[in-house]
Amino acid sequence: MAYGQSNAERYMLQERCGKQAAAVFAKEYSPSSQTKDGKHQRSNYQNHYSEKLNKCFFLEITTIFEKGKVSKLFRLFDLNENKEYGSYWESDETPGFKDCVVADIRCSSETEWRQLAKPYLED
């Protein structure tokens, strides 16, 4: 039993996290939409209950398409505390510019962002 939780407790917490993430996504996001300025936006999410941290994490994944240009946004939240742990922004409109941070640590690539976010999204 890792981190002092029984299998039944772990399963219940994982299931609760999944349901909470699905409810947030259904309320706050649309899988595919057209923005007011004509951009096409696709959204998705991943969730993970971290036993080690005893937190439910929600990873927002948004891709925006406009006139052959693509922008990517990732935002990592603790759903219970409604706290943002990290974000990543990259766009073909501004080559070379990325906004990349996880837990107050700056990064410079999607690969680096994913590596920094990994402890929150995997046990």
Rounded to two decimals, the pTM is 0.87
The pLDDT, as a whole number, for residue 6 is 86
Grouping H, G, I as helix, E, B as strand and the rest as coil, residue 9 is helix
Residues whose CB falls within 8 Å of the CB of residue 1, separated by 6 or more in sequence, listed in order: 7
SS3 state at 5 = coil
Kindly give the confidence (pLDDT) of every residue in the chain, 123 residues in length, as a single tens digit, with 9 standing for 90 and above. Answer: 345 678 899 899 999 999 999 999 999 988 888 877 888 999 999 999 999 999 999 999 999 998 889 999 999 999 999 999 999 999 998 888 899 999 999 999 999 999 999 999 987
What's the pLDDT at 4? 64
User: Is 71 in contact with 89 (CB distance < 8 Å)?
Assistant: yes
pLDDT, residue 25, reads 96
Q: Quick one: pLDDT at residue 1?
A: 38
Domain spans in the chain, listed from the N-terminal domain onward: 2-121
pLDDT given for residue 39 in this prediction: 86
Measured CA to CA, the distance from residue 38 to residue 31 in angstroms comes to: 16
Measured distance CA(68)–CA(52) in Å, rounded: 42
Residue whose C-alpha is closest to residue 71's, from 47, 56, 88: 88
